[in-house]
Structures are given as C-alpha cells and as structure tokens.
Chains A and B, each alone.
Chain A
C-alpha cells in the first residue's frame, strides 16, 4: 500500500477539525456569558462563566436537569447490564449448544432488527399507561429495552470463534451443568465483546430520545428529554442550554477517551463479520 502524502494528511486533519469544532464551540458557549454568541467573529477561547451558566440550569425547575442525569444513569446502567447478560446467554446458546429450531430462531432474531423502532410506539404507550399504569415511570423506559437482537447476534458471532469447543467439552466431562459452563468457561472468553456491547448499549440508552420523550414528563425526565425541554423553552438563553448540553455530553466523551480504541475495534470487527 502506498504511503500517505501531504495532501492525505491535510485532508484528514481538515476532517478531524470538522469533527471537533462543534464540541469545541459547545464548550466555548457553555463557559462564556450569553452576549458572546452574537459576537462576530465568534470567540475562540473558553471563558470562566461555566459555574454561573450551569447554576441557572440547576435552578431551572422546568427542566429537572439533575433528575435527568440521575435517571439516565439508572436507566442506562440497568439496561446495559441486562442486555449484556441476556445477549451473552442467548449468543452462547446459539453458537455452542444444539437444540431444535435453533436456525429458525436465529433467523427470527436477525429479521427483527429490520423493524423500525417507531412502529410500535403508540400501542406500547397504551400498554404502559393503561395496562401497567407506568405513565411517567422510569420502568416504562427500561422494560422495552432489556433485550437486544443486535446484542444476541453480535454475541453469537463472537462466541462462535472465541470460545473453544474443547474447553466446553472438558467442562462437560467434569460434570459441569450447562449454566456452569456458561458462567465459568464462556463468560470469561466473551469478556472483550461484552465490554464493547456494554459500551454501545450504554451510549445508545444515554442518547435515547423518542420513547422517553413520549412516555416521560418534566417531573421524571431522562437527560435528553430534559435537554429538549431546555432547548425548546429557553432557546434564547444559549449559555444555559449549552452548559447543560456540555454536561450531558461529558460522560460519553470520558467513556470514549478511555475505551474508544475498543469501541472502534468492536465496530470494525462487527462490520466484517456481519
């Protein structure tokens, strides 16, 4: 393969600048006084008013931003744990066990990935409100997402190659039950893929919008619902909205700085396998 030339580097650096600029501006506006957003040209360095701006976010009862942060943390954590657990369990069964109807079941799971999520929103809303009485309840945004077809498929693909048949066989001979094999042979081997799936699930849940927006209200928002409430009612106070946006984004940036390499590896690996 040819070595990259100067032009390649210039183009890539421009692409990177385009990627980062919106983040950078988010932090500039979040840390400066409100008037600054109308300055032409815009300021290039962050200021020192973040505390004041974020103070206005916290004092804003309409948006319930702190509740949003806590609620999102609860929802994303519970969903992530369950998705990773159920996906690895089912993925192991599909990759390493034999049972009747296995192929058809896997096909069904893959097919369900094509159904658009918005399609069932109205009956789901009806079910949550009228049957489960969960209007505005956090459980309503947790329950529908405890399993993921994508997760099962990803775990199956990974388990097929990462878990050695000999090890499973040996465990059987030693008298391990199937669940014990899952717990002490399969889980350790699946750990890298579970990490990637967990990170992707957490980010997806943290950023999830449509369903929480439909079922939750201003008293129990998730962080994205709270952001939308802020942006829609206080769109003149950009400094406040941006301070909240920055705080809502920082956890994901931190996750990405620490685990970005694994996430990208997982996505690229999955792309080739799928």
Chain B
C-alpha cells in the first residue's frame, strides 16, 4: 500500500519549513526569484522529513529501551553493587546462577504457574470464542462483560483474589467445603499458591484472548462451513478440520504473548504475599517467580551484577520457551 511520492516538481509551492506549517497555507505562487529556493526546500522536505517523524521513537527507544538492555548485558559480567566500581568478573555470575538453588526454584515455580494458568485458559478462550461466534443475541453485551476483567490493575486483582483465597473465611474454601474439600492454606501450600495465582491470571486474560480468537474466527469464510456441512461433517468435525487450522496464526500469537507475559509474572505473587518479605514469594519461596528473584537480588540485596545475570537468563528462557511453543503449535495444529 505504500505510495510513490512525487518529488519537488509538484510540491514546488511548499512553505519555507514544515515547522511553521500550522499557519495558513500559502496557495499563490507565481514563480520569480524565490521559486527555486522553495523548490529546493520542498525537495528537502519530501526527502528528509520522514526521518524527523520516526526519529522520536528511535531516539527515545535508544536512550530508555536499548541502552539499558545492553547495559544489563555488560553489567551481568561484573560484580557491581550500585556504589563501588564495576569489576569485570567474566562468567562468574552465570556460573553461580547455574548452581543457585533459589534461582532454579524460581524457574520451577514460574513454569508451573504458567502451565497451570495457560492450558485451561486457552481451552476456555477457544470455547468462549466459539460460543460468541454463534448467532447469539446481545453479543456486544457479552463481549464487553467477558473483557472487563482485563481493564483492572494487577495489584487490584491480587488484592481482591487475596481475599477469596484466604484460609479462614475465604470464599473459595467456603465453596470447596460444600463438596467436602477441607480448608486449603492457599498462601502456605505450594500447589495451592500456584493454583491461586493461575486463577488470577486466567480471570484477567481469558476474556481478552477469547476476543482475539473470536476476531480470527469471524475472518474464516462462511462457505467453508457450508460446503463441509453439505458433505455431512458434524459440528465437532467442522471445528477440528476448519476452525482450528484457520486459527493457527492467531493461536500462535496468543500463545507467544502468554509465554512472554507468563514468564515475567511479578505483581500478582508480590501482592498476594502481603507483608514485609513479600519479594520472597512465601515463607519457603514456594511461589517466588524469576522476576521476583531478580528484583530481590538486584534491589533488596543491591547485587546488581547478579540481578542483571538473572534478567538475561530470564530473557533467554523467554526466547527458548517462545520458540518451543511456536514449534509445538506448528506441529499439533495442521494447516
């Protein structure tokens, strides 16, 4: 859709500078000695002003996005602790990290919470999208309501669900009591805390993902279904052999975004574990995530070099996990 911009010949009556262009446009131009100067300025405008328009992004991103990331890389090879000098220690931080049981504990917790959250979430989102895609009444209403959890802040979600997931008087334990399940100490038990955090994530994201999937479903041509049902394909058959394959790019997108977000999990466990040692993620670190551990080492212990190494390890994990999920989707959902 890009368009060939015709050069200065047509734009010869341009103003002196694009910066004073808020004034009224000068329409009349009858040539004369100033004509050539304007023509030249206009040609400069067409050729170089695009760079001015994209420059803010690149300048600000270089300063506050790229530079910090590169510095994190460099910092992870030092033992810097905010005040002293930067001493280069090679791969020592990474070697220590490989032996650090708290780090592996955080990796295990984050992976477990991610899996417990993402698998039911995707299935539910698919189901919701499928139902919303039927010819139902009040469709806008339903769409808005299932999306509304997504507008709340992570802190608010964790605060409200923290109340539901109390051991005593919590709404969840009260409901579980009806089916004969004894009170669960959601903050103290490893599995309990994982499930509680996964529930918060799913509450906030299932509706959002359902809408993304729904959008992709609506783009599938109707006649595919019509000819399939003429061929005698049932609803399940249509879903597996038309809907799912057509959703492949979207499912890929949703899974990768969930992977990136899931590995960075931070706010919910932090707020869930109220009190002074919140960053530890529970008394036994049973729900401390990698991002929390990075924060603990970097900001609480001021071991910035080590914290930076954790950050890069997290980045590596995200890249590997995204690639793994990419291949997984490509193999399991056929086109």
Contacts and interface: CB of A to CB of B under 8 A. Distances in A.
A145 to B, nearest CB: 8
B219 interface: yes
Interface size range of chain B in the complex: 35 or more
B47 interface: yes
A235 B278 CA distance: 12
A58 B42 CA distance: 58
Contacts of B140: 261
Nearest to B208: A267
A252 B203 contact: no
Interface stretch (A47-55, A59-67, A97-105, A188-196): A97-105
A168 B187 CA distance: 60
A113 B148 CA distance: 25
B54 A20 contact: no
B281 interface: no
Contacts of B45: 177-178
Interface string B46-62: 11111101101110110
B260 interface: yes
B243 to A, nearest CB: 12
18 contacts: A3-B134, A15-B128, A15-B146, A22-B152, A99-B47, A115-B65, A119-B311, A119-B314, A120-B72, A121-B298, A123-B68, A144-B60, A147-B57, A177-B14, A180-B18, A228-B155, A232-B271, A245-B155
A264 B143 contact: yes
Contact of B57 (A15, A117, A127, A149): A149
B34 interface: no
B317 to A, nearest CB: 10
B1 A4 contact: no
A116 B215 contact: no
Name the 4 nearest CB pairs between A and B, nearest first: A120-B68, A175-B13, A123-B71, A179-B18
Contacts of B190: none
B136 A224 contact: no
A4 B131 contact: yes
Nearest to B319: A114
A152 B271 contact: no
A122 B163 contact: no
B184 interface: no
A183 B22 contact: yes
Nearest to B273: A232
Interface of B: 1-6, 10-15, 17-19, 21-22, 25-27, 29, 42, 45-51, 53-54, 56-58, 60-61, 64-69, 71-72, 75, 82, 127-128, 131-137, 140, 142-149, 151-164, 168-169, 171, 174, 203, 207-208, 211-212, 214-216, 219, 222, 225, 235, 250, 253, 260, 263-264, 266-267, 270-271, 274-276, 278, 291, 294-295, 298-299, 304, 307-308, 311-312, 314-315, 318, 322
Contacts of B250: 271
A227 B56 CA distance: 33
A161 B1 CA distance: 8
Nearest to A99: B50
B322 to A, nearest CB: 8
A147 B215 contact: no
Given A22-B203, A122-B298, A231-B271, A264 B65 contact: no
Given A177-B49, A209-B266, A232-B278, 4 more contacts: A86-B60, A99-B47, A112-B65, A168-B3
Given A121-B311, A203-B151, A207-B154, A12 B132 contact: yes
Most interface-central of B50, B66, B69, B318 (chain A CB within 10 A): B50
B218 to A, nearest CB: 8
A96 B253 CA distance: 27
Interface bin, chain A: 35 or more
Contacts of A89: 53-54, 56
Contacts of B57: 86-87, 90, 109, 147, 149, 152
Contacts of A121: 68, 298, 311
B11 to A, nearest CB: 5
A38 B13 CA distance: 76
A248 interface: yes
Contact of B64 (A42, A87, A124, A245): A124
Nearest to B149: A19
Given A19-B149, A93-B50, A260-B144, A29 B163 contact: yes
A122 B304 contact: yes
Contact of B155 (A8, A97, A227, A271): A227
Given A147-B61, A177-B15, A119 B142 contact: no
Most buried by B among A147, A227, A241, A271: A271
B64 A144 contact: yes
A165 B3 contact: yes
Contact of B274 (A2, A86, A152, A232): A232
A25 B163 contact: yes
A1 interface: yes
A248 B156 contact: yes
A182 B46 CA distance: 12
B54 A12 contact: no
B148 A256 contact: yes
Contacts of A112: 61, 65-66
Interface string A248-274: 110011011000110110011101101
